[in-house]
Structure 1
């Protein structure tokens, strides 16, 4: 591996880690949303929308990182 490939692999690792952090954030928000003691009757739709957007971003980052990783290794 040359210097540029090593740099790209480090960026791929960063993207994967960032996607995991965003996924964890979405998971904790979802758990907070379904708790019976959370009084979010009026904000339920906004919470679900935010969680959905975070999950889409997380999946996008992960799939992009996997595509770049596959192109580096081939």
Structure 2
């Protein structure tokens, strides 16, 4: 059970890290004399920011993948 959860989490992080889309924030209309609309970030903005942050940690994700492959062979192999 724990091996399946580790594998699931690893695959989900890998999927997010290898996305090569341009995540651009929607430009909001300016109000008044060039003042920008300051509002709380939406859920979509937070997901976009999380996926952008994952791109910076690709080397660590790669090392984690090697660790998980080693564990699969040594600890969880039959």
| Band the TM-score falls in, shorter-chain normalisation | 0.3 to 0.5
Task: Give me the TM-score of the superposition, normalised by structure 1.
Answer: 0.47
